[in-house]
Amino acid sequence: MSTMNVSVTKTNVKTATSRGSRFRGLWKYRWLYAFMLPGLLYFILFRYVPLWGLIMAFKNYQPHLGLMGSEWVGFKHFERFFGMPEFWQLFRNTMLLGLYSTVIYFPITIIMALLLNEIRNEMYKRFVQTLVYVPHFLSWVVIAGISYVLLTTEGGLINEAIKGMTGGAAVEFLTSTEWFRPLIILQLIWKDAGWGTIIFLAALAGVNTQLYEAARMDGASRIRQLWHVTLPSIRSVIVILFILRLGSFLDLGFEQIFLMLNAINREVGEVFDTYVYRVGLQQGQFSYSTAVGLFKSVVGFILVILANKLAKLFGEEGIY
Amino acid sequence: MNRKTYKTIGLGLVGLTLAGSVLAGCGSKEEPGAEAPAQNSEASNQPLHIKMTLNFDGKEVPQEGNEVEKAIEQYTNTELDLTHIASSDFCTKLPVMIASGEMPQVIASCGAPNQSYLISAAQGGTFWDITELIKEYKNLSSMPELVYGNVSIDGKLYGIPRFRPVSRYTFAYRADWLENLGLKEPKTLDDLYAMLKAFTENDPDKNGKNDTVGFTAIINNNTLAPDFGLAHGAPNNWNSVDGKFVKAEATPEYLEGLKFLKKLYDEGLMNQDFASVSQAKSEGDFENGKAGVISATTNNVLAFQSRVQKVNPDAKLDFVSVLEGPGGKRVVADRGSNGILMFPKASVKTEAELKQLLSFFDKLAEKEMADLLEWGIQGKHYELKDGKAVRLNQETYDNEVSFPYNKPLVTVPLTAIKTQGDLDPISEKVIEVEKANEQFAVKDPSMVLLSDTWAQKGAELTQILVDAKVKFIMGKIDEAGWNKEIEKFKKAGGDTVAEEYAAAAASVQQ
């Protein structure tokens, strides 16, 4: 970034010939620019142009009037959203689930990658890897179905086992406020933790083996090697993935939560996404949904900026 | 300029064309209009092409060009292009379809047309107003006036309602179990309670195991079934007393009904996982002979019977609609229709085209079509015996005719038009019960009124109440907690809705 700044200031002071040389540079790398074009077009068409639709959040969008024809209402939808009694409940539910998935699920993917990395038998390693990737390809509907069969109080496998072993009553896993969050996180770990190891494993494969040799020479144990060689080597990857994860901090798996929600656990389970679906889409209130979505994006944006600043403070590169 | 330059320009042009084609894709909003058969009025022998999007309650959509569809096309001289969307999905897709402006010539509403997006679209002129036109059609105008009134927006009709009986809620139960236990058909709530208790505790299926339960309850589309409020004297949805509107759940009678349900839950006479159970599982329990009673509507008791008999050929079903409770004999009066079929102006350009579509639906109520839709194809779905139709296989008829064509397309009641049938006992009882229920039916006074707040927040508000009901039944909240939830409902908009209904009712009376 700094080099680019320098070149810009230079061209500003220099004469016409250098402007020509800049053009010549452009010309020289023309094929690289051409390669960039499709990607650029993609971002403009599918990422930037749709941003225009955000004005919907400040209008009372009526489908038959169209986006331009609808009436401007300023911050009305935001006022309704922030003003409703359940706002803080939604906010807390979303934040807590986001937090749990970040502090529990995210480290587990790293630990799992480290464990896989320590396996010496290549065949066995591949076998385990494939096995832990499989759940990722199941849809949430299937997983919700499995959870139901295992956990229902009416003859669910786990509840039958609990009843059989302790002789006590069935645990209301599916219809209680206490079990909702653990359930969601456990499902998330079961489904996606294996898949989440992929990037870490790639990073681990890139660690210079000479470092391990040197550490062994110095008499470092397996644990010491892990702590002083492996982890520092993949630190930047961890930081980048962590920052990116914060960007979607509030985007919890809509489908997963929606499928697990019911009357009893709604007070801890309703998050922004399910609320938007229920109120916004099912009732056709597009402007209101957009306002809530915009709010979520702003929170995600702020989190990314903050995390990036923090990462730089600790001497890491960050994502930009 | 050397050759490379041309290459670059060429590449740029390719990029531009690509961009152009994508942009063109975005701007194709006008096209559906072009698809509409504008020339049809002149070349009247050409079959009319009709594109429809309909909600669908069956399991599988039959293949295009099947016998039934062909028969309809031939008789009405049309070319049908039907899109069936599962009812559970339909309600989320409808607002998006309206928003995109790309609509077929005929589109169903999501249940009663009382959502805010639909009302504002109708008021904004998205759909044809057919209030006057519909009177010109012989069959369509035979619809009971009440049905039209219940789906009008500002007194105008924006689609053809699909008739269904006003009072149709029943409890379907295992008649063979009842016989096994030597019990009689339930007539009162106490009878029902006794039946559920016996179904749960007295081994009604005689297999020597304690593996049955009385009721299989469920929460579906934000409604808890069963609901015993009405039988205890609570109003149907809203009550209007001296110009003031009170929500049913806010009445003490309703709480009594809820306590009855709680009793069933506490004593284990109904499924304990009703709060998290899916419709498939709940109905499956009934099919498999785990549960003995289920909430049904008059038009699906027969389908339930064939499903139960598939598992257990000796099973027999019966049903009861009105149960006398502390509040007397009371049963819910419905809107009398299952949504309306609307005609978007974006794809139906002229009144002439609209008339063609209306006459299509009018033709569907002629005798030949009525027979096809109600009985199916002769020899395949039914046979004639002494001039009376006899159904061959209920399930085949349901899957090939009823779900894909009858339920989505039939508008006016065909009972009097079709060939009379040699009916099974259940179908005969259905006709009887639907008639008898008229005197016990309790109307919902809010049905013909509009409330902006309800249109906008209705689903949210209903959710508060449903959640509270479940919590009360499962013992997560007590009576004080219930009252607190009712207060929450009122504050969240319930009070405003009541005021708006009262104002609307007052202005109607003037």
Residue B341 lies in a domain: yes
State whether B328 and B448 are in the same domain.
yes
Q: Does B91 touch chain A (CB under 8 A)?
A: yes
Q: Does A163 touch chain B (CB under 8 A)?
A: no
State whether A181 and A307 are in the same domain.
yes
State whether B323 and B347 are in the same domain.
no
State whether A131 and A268 are in the same domain.
yes
The stretches of B229-300 forming alpha helices (DSSP H) are 252-266, 279-287
State whether B155 and B190 are in the same domain.
no
Distance from CA of A152 to the nearest CA of B (A): 7
State whether B90 and B146 are in the same domain.
yes
Q: What pLDDT score was predicted for residue A18? A: 59
Domain count, chain B: 2
pLDDT in tens, A148-192: 989 988 888 898 898 888 887 888 899 889 999 999 999 999 999
Q: Does A63 touch chain B (CB under 8 A)?
A: yes
Q: Does B22 touch chain A (CB under 8 A)?
A: yes
State whether A156 and A256 are in the same domain.
yes
Q: What pLDDT score was predicted for residue A17? A: 55
Q: Does B8 touch chain A (CB under 8 A)?
A: yes
Separation CA B150–CA B130 (nearest Å): 15
Q: What is the CATH number of the domain that holds B505?
A: 3.40.190.10
Q: Are B225 and B296 in contact (CB under 8 A)?
A: no
Q: What pLDDT score was predicted for residue A19? A: 64
Residue B425 lies in a domain: no
Q: What is the CATH number of the domain that holds A154?
A: 1.10.3720.10
Q: What pLDDT score was predicted for residue B42? A: 45
Q: Confidence band (pLDDT; 50, 70, 90) for B29?
A: very low
Residues of chain A with pLDDT > 90, as a percent, come to 44
The least confident of A240-249, B105-114, B389-398, B496-505 is A240-249
Which residues are within 8 A (CB) of A57 and not within 5 positions of it... i.e. 6 or more apart? A77, A78, A287, A290, A291, A293, A294
Which B residues in the span 279-308 are in contact with A, Cβ-Cβ below 8 Å? 281
Q: Are B214 and B291 in contact (CB under 8 A)?
A: yes
Q: What pLDDT score was predicted for residue A5? A: 44
The closest alpha carbon to B243, from B502, B495, B500, belongs to B502
State whether A54 and A160 are in the same domain.
no
Angle at B412 between CA B408 and CA B415, to 5 degrees: 100
Q: Confidence band (pLDDT; 50, 70, 90) for A269?
A: very high
Residue A260 lies in a domain: yes
Distance from CA of B456 to the nearest CA of A (A): 7
Q: Does A175 touch chain B (CB under 8 A)?
A: yes
Q: What pLDDT score was predicted for residue B30? A: 39
Q: Confidence band (pLDDT; 50, 70, 90) for B59?
A: confident
The closest alpha carbon to B497, from B448, B439, B435, B454, belongs to B454
Residues of chain B with pLDDT > 70, as a percent, come to 91
Q: Tell which phi-psi region holds residue B355, choosing left (phi > 0), alpha (psi between -120 and 50) or beta.
A: alpha
Which residue did the predictor score with more confidence, B148 or B37?
B148
pLDDT in tens, A283-299: 778 889 899 989 988 98
Beta carbons of A278 and B460 less than 8 Å apart: yes
Q: What pLDDT score was predicted for residue B497? A: 96
Q: What pLDDT score was predicted for residue B99? A: 79
State whether B322 and B341 are in the same domain.
no
Q: What pLDDT score was predicted for residue B247? A: 96
Which residues of chain A have a CB within 8 Å of the CB of B469?
Answer: 263
Mean pLDDT of the A222-230 span: 90
Interface probe with B: pick from A62, A159, A160, most Cβ of B within 10 Å = A62
Beta carbons of B275 and A262 less than 8 Å apart: yes
Residue A143 lies in a domain: yes
Distance from CA of A248 to the nearest CA of B (A): 25
Which residues of chain B have a CB within 8 Å of the CB of A84?
Answer: 492
State whether A17 and A49 are in the same domain.
yes
Which residues of chain A have a CB within 8 Å of the CB of B126?
Answer: 63-64
Chain B, nearest residue to A67 by Cα: B99
The least confident of A269-273, A274-278, A281-285, B298-302 is A281-285
pLDDT in tens, B158-202: 999 999 888 889 999 999 999 999 999 999 999 999 999 999 999
Mean pLDDT of the B453-463 span: 87
State whether A12 and A154 are in the same domain.
no
Which residues of chain A have a CB within 8 Å of the CB of B463?
Answer: 266, 278
The least confident of A137-146, A278-287, B234-243, B266-275 is A278-287
Residue B489 lies in a domain: yes
Asked if residue B17 has pLDDT above 70, the reply is no
Residue B364 lies in a domain: yes
ipTM score of complex: 0.78
Asked if residue B5 has pLDDT above 70, the reply is no
Asked if residue A42 has pLDDT above 90, the reply is yes
Distance from CA of A84 to the nearest CA of B (A): 8
Which B residues in the span 48-87 are in contact with A, Cβ-Cβ below 8 Å? none
Q: Are B327 and B231 in contact (CB under 8 A)?
A: yes
State whether A271 and A283 are in the same domain.
yes
Q: Does A28 touch chain B (CB under 8 A)?
A: no
Chain B, nearest residue to A50 by Cα: B26
